A and B are shown apart, each in its own frame.
Chain A
Amino acid sequence: MSIVIARLVPDLLGLNGSSANAEILAEYLRHAGQSVDVVTVSSPETAPGLVDVVCVGTGSASSLSPAATAIIPLARVLGKWREAGAWMCAIGTGWDLLGQSVITPAGETLPGAGIFASRADHRRARFSGEVVGEDYQGRSSAGFVNQVGEVVLESGAQPLMNVEAPGEYPGSEGLIGERLLATRFGGPALALNPHWANDIAHSVVEEAGGVFQRTAFHDRVDAHAARARDLINSRLRASTE
């Protein structure tokens, strides 16, 4: 039986490589000997009965409202998948809309799907730049954030990582929880941080009673990602010295 990854409304929430995280996770699993299907879900009518992972990307300012309109009808389906054990992996605006609420730049409050214990406020200024730190397991993690506003975690929610640089970025980033991963790192966050792909993949394979077979692909991906993160780290340190 195949592992099913749902890619949520990629037309609206797939900016700047962020919808590729479904593809990245799928390849990570396929190279581990798993059969994987990636399905696009844009409405409850096209949603499969159950999925193993939901991936959602980020969007531009003009896509916020239509994306919210598309996500809200999916809230029940998402809740059902979550109850059945699906992972939720969300990037940028997709995370915002899967949270509790989003305040638009104009001050309007949009309801979220209620999956993540977080609230987004798009009235704050944009941050655009590289960010590095250590994640909840002390692993080097990095990415490029290009997002407007801020996300506030609700009481009890755990950040995905502590931020080490740059200094102007908030001290923590993202959200990690029981089969939940969210980050403002845009683009292919799982490619640059394959340890997160690894966490999700192992969990999904074990849940299905399978065996994750690590291969040379995973070693190469780890090595390239580590080098890319090291260079980001070096750039940020050089810019502050």
Chain B
Amino acid sequence: MRLFLAVALAKLVRFAARLRGGGSALPGLVLLRIVPDALRRSLGSLPKGVIFVTGSNGKSTTTAMLVGILRAHGLKVFSNPAGGNLPQGLASALVGQSTLRGTVSADIAVLEVDEAYGPQIAQLITPSWVVFTNIQLDQLNRFGEPEAVFEMLQTLAGYATTGVLVNGSDPNTAALGVALASQGARVEQMSVSAEATASAQHGLVAAPLFFEDATPLDMQPTATVLRVDGSVVELATDSAQVSLAMPHQGLHYAVDAGLAVAMARHVTPDFSLSRAAQALEHSTPVYGRGEVIRYRGRDISLTMMKNLPSLQANLDSFNEPLQHVWISVDEGTPDPSWIFDVDTRAIGSVSVVSGSKASQWALLLEHRGIAYDSVVEDTATAMNTFVDSAQEPAALLHAIVNYEQMMLIRRIAGYKELEGAS
């Protein structure tokens, strides 16, 4: 009865929040305040369990790809929309997808989970599997040291009732896998061939290994990314091999696909690599990641600058240096010092730099000798300056933005839906 009332109230809050055009986390907060164990009560007995996907980068895309593959195999999947990876975001997804009684019609749940909140979320809903995408240099102002993330993930792994899947090509998740296996945990890995890694100028942009004398993971990979050529990816499992055309090009997308395939292989008895490949080929970009938005008749591709590895991986995926780029960064990136570590050769010229961190980006451009037209801190003004100064009418425009500016830019362009809104 209490769950019923809480879900009903949370759904009402969700409806009201949506009318106002915001508040995707609020319904979840309401639900968890009234019924703290709502996630366990609704998702705890799904027949195929709960999979967590976590790590520094690739969480949203890997989650979306895994959901697509599982659905292509006929499974009903509960998932949280990209970015809603904190407890309240997960609970909001539950409010959106459950009945008034709090029941969810699903065989399995695939949840993107924030790396710092992982252990806390695992106390709300126990994962059967945890997928670790990578541990990279990310949000040092938040985590202090990348080593802290390793410890968080190690703690989270202890909650997995069946096993963990690690990206064996990331030195730190591989080391995590070795540590967990030595403690008796079931550890599976996805690997990336040297040839595929070499397809990107900076490879996997892995963080340095935080430990000395790491022993290599010795289990057979469940899936391997064999080759990457633009958007064409060759994947293999122990019994099959497939070549597919991904909607996006870049090694990092191929790695996410490899992880999704490997995880699906373990939870789908009738797993078919060709069916998985079809699902991957038809996957759509996750909100704001490589998304193309339209503004005043121009198509603008949004490239996320979340952290050094993600920006470098995104820049590496372009075949030619980008010209006439718009860069927009604000307080969502409290310390943008790391931009000085980025290989910026993929940025040929810049149209306008905006956001409250525009001056810090302009300093980088000056020291790298990259031409830029103007610095305009106000994002809306910069957006018009950017579009007005575009030369070729039909050419795709490129914007490099942090998460918060991406949200703002989408709103300015008239895109109403919020990330994390289900």
Q: Do B211 and A62 touch (CB < 8 A)?
A: yes
Q: Do B141 and A128 touch (CB < 8 A)?
A: yes
List CB contacts (< 8 Å) of B205-225 with chain A.
Answer: 208, 210-212
Q: Do A60 and B375 touch (CB < 8 A)?
A: no
Known: A148-B144, A187-B340. A16 touches B335 (CB 8 A): yes
Q: Do A16 and B140 touch (CB < 8 A)?
A: yes
B331, closest chain A residue (CB): A235
- Closest CB-CB distance, B172 to chain A, in whole Å? 10
Query: Which chain A residues border B231 with CB–CB below 8 Å?
Result: none
Q: Do B362 and A224 touch (CB < 8 A)?
A: yes
For A198-233 the 0/1 string (1 means CB < 8 A from B) is 000000000000000000010011001101100100
List CB contacts (< 8 Å) of A168-210 with chain B.
Answer: 186-188, 191-192
Q: Do A192 and B363 touch (CB < 8 A)?
A: yes
Q: Do B363 and A60 touch (CB < 8 A)?
A: no
The count of residues in chain B whose C-beta lies closer than 8 Å to any C-beta of chain A is 31
For B316-358 the 0/1 string (1 means CB < 8 A from A) is 0000000000000001001101111100000000000000110
Q: Do A225 and B211 touch (CB < 8 A)?
A: no
Partner-contacting stretch, out of A19-27, A111-119, A133-141: A19-27
A101 within 8 A of B: no
Query: Which chain A residues border B140 with CB–CB below 8 Å?
Result: 15-16, 128, 146
Q: A19–B340 Cα gap in the complex (Å)?
A: 9
Interface centre among B140, B210, B211, B357 (most CB of A within 10 A): B140
List CB contacts (< 8 Å) of B134-176 with chain A.
Answer: 137, 140-142, 144-147
Known: A60-B145, A60-B210. A20 touches B366 (CB 8 A): no
For A61, give its contact among B142, B147, B337 (CB under 8 Å). Answer: B147
A11 within 8 A of B: yes
B209, closest chain A residue (CB): A62
For the residues of A in contact with B, the DSSP-based class is helix
- Closest CB-CB distance, B28 to chain A, in whole Å? 28
Q: A224–B357 Cα gap in the complex (Å)?
A: 10
- Closest CB-CB distance, A177 to chain B, in whole Å? 25
List CB contacts (< 8 Å) of B103-161 with chain A.
Answer: 137, 140-142, 144-147
Q: Do B363 and A187 touch (CB < 8 A)?
A: no
A17 within 8 A of B: yes
For A146-165 the 0/1 string (1 means CB < 8 A from B) is 10100000000000000000
Return 26 A-B CB contacts under 8 Å, by A number: A14-B341, A15-B137, A17-B338, A17-B340, A19-B341, A60-B146, A62-B145, A62-B147, A62-B211, A128-B141, A128-B142, A128-B144, A130-B334, A130-B335, A144-B337, A146-B141, A146-B335, A187-B338, A188-B337, A188-B364, A191-B360, A192-B360, A224-B362, A225-B359, A227-B359, A228-B359
Chain B positions near chain A (C-beta within 8 angstroms): 137, 140-142, 144-147, 208, 210-212, 331, 334-335, 337-341, 356-357, 359-360, 362-364, 366-367, 369, 375
Chain A positions near chain B (C-beta within 8 angstroms): 11, 14-20, 23-24, 27, 60-63, 66, 126, 128-130, 144, 146, 148, 186-188, 191-192, 217, 220-221, 224-225, 227-228, 231, 235
